[in-house]
């Protein structure tokens, strides 16, 4: 299933994509696409005759594909070739940091360059959405806790992240720095999350072109590892790292400017497109 949320910001309704790529309104079945629904209602949604649901105007805004996320967890330096381009050592354990949930935005919403920013960067990433709560999860049970996957653009302000002291978090969680979607694709539709192509273009120029085969720590390892340090709740998001081609790694570095357009996607998970604007 490809689950989604549509409508005006803050007033999104739940939806599902049918085989003809029409958006169908799920609001008569569930109240939203959130952790409680992911944990308890996926089977009921799967059993519905989707063709009986109302069709939604295809021009509608798509919001973040999951609501009420409690934690937005990120894994850093998880592609060996990305670690190399940033002159960072290969981590011996997953590097965990956070994006604030206030950074979450829709897949086609504008991305804002923060006031005073000089080094706003891009990162296409595979997102894992938790569908069953748990902690101290063993690897052989990790996939039981995954609802599905999505595209994430892990926008990063490198000066704030690296040069301003403290942890990475201040450069990762600015408003609009976490576009997710367009869909939450349930795990049964993705045969192998460790063989997905990822790509990102800026104004039509390809900068990132990778595959999840290059992840140092795979999805199973990440879910299990993170759960040793915190409980995972349904609706939580884990962003699993980015392949090479980020602005920081270029020589000389290249960063986003107002007026540019980012276009990114992952095999089977859809595409995003964002216009870059200055924060108001």
Instruction: Give the CATH number for residue 135.
Output: 3.90.850.10
The DSSP-derived string for 189-252 is: G-S-TTS-EEEEEETTEEEEEEEGGGBSS-HHHHHHHHTTTS-B-TT-EEE----S--GGGSSS
User: How many domains, the chain?
Assistant: 2
pLDDT per position as a tens digit, 44-94: 999 999 999 999 999 999 999 999 999 999 999 999 877 777 777 889 999
Same domain, 43 and 77: no
Q: CA-to-CA distance for 241 and 212, rounded, in angstroms?
A: 9
Please give the mean pLDDT across all residues of the chain: 96
Same domain, 97 and 36: no
Please compute the mean of the pLDDT values over residues 91-101 and round it to a whole number: 96
Q: Is residue 139 part of a domain?
A: yes
Same domain, 47 and 161: no
pLDDT band at 192, cuts 50/70/90? Answer: very high
Predicted confidence at residue 89, as pLDDT, reads 84
Contact 33, 65 (CB under 8 A): yes
Q: Is residue 198 part of a domain?
A: yes
pLDDT per position as a tens digit, 142-163: 999 999 999 999 999 999 998 8
Q: Is the pLDDT of residue 165 over 90?
A: no
Q: Is residue 64 part of a domain?
A: no
Neighbours of 70 (CB within 10 A): 16
Tokens of 65: 């594909």
Predicted confidence at residue 80, as pLDDT, reads 83
Q: Is residue 50 part of a domain?
A: yes
pLDDT per position as a tens digit, 20-31: 999 999 999 999
Residue range of the domain that includes 261: 72-278
């Amino acid at each position: 299933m490809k689950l989604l949320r549509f409508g005006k910001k803050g007033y999104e309704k739940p939806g599902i994509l049918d085989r003809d790529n029409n958006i169908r309104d799920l609001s008569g079945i569930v109240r939203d696409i959130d952790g409680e629904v992911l944990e308890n209602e996926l089977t009921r949604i799967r059993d519905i005759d989707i063709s009986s649901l109302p069709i939604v105007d295809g021009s509608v805004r798509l919001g973040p594909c999951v609501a009420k996320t409690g934690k937005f967890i990120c894994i850093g330096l998880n592609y060996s070739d990305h670690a190399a381009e940033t002159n960072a050592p290969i981590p011996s354990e997953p590097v965990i940091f956070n994006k604030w949930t206030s950074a979450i935005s829709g897949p086609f919403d504008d991305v804002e360059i923060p006031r005073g920013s000089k080094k706003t960067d891009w990162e296409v990433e595979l997102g894992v959405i938790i569908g069953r709560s748990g902690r101290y999860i063993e690897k052989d049970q990790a996939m039981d806790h995954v609802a599905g996957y999505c595209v994430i653009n892990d926008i990063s302000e490198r000066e704030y992240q690296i040069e301003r002291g403290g942890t990475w978090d201040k450069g990762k969680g600015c408003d609009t720095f976490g576009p997710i979607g367009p869909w939450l694709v349930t795990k049964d539709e993705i045969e192998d999350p460790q063989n997905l192509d990822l790509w990102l273009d800026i104004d039509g120029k390809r900068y990132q072109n990778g595959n999840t085969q290059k992840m140092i720590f795979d999805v199973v390892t990440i879910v299990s590892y993170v759960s040793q340090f915190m409980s995972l709740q349904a609706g939580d998001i884990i962003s699993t790292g980015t392949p090479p081609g980020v602005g920081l790694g270029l020589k000389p570095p290249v960063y986003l400017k107002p007026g540019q357009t980012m276009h990114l996607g992952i095999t089977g998970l859809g595409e995003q497109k964002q216009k870059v604007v200055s924060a108001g």
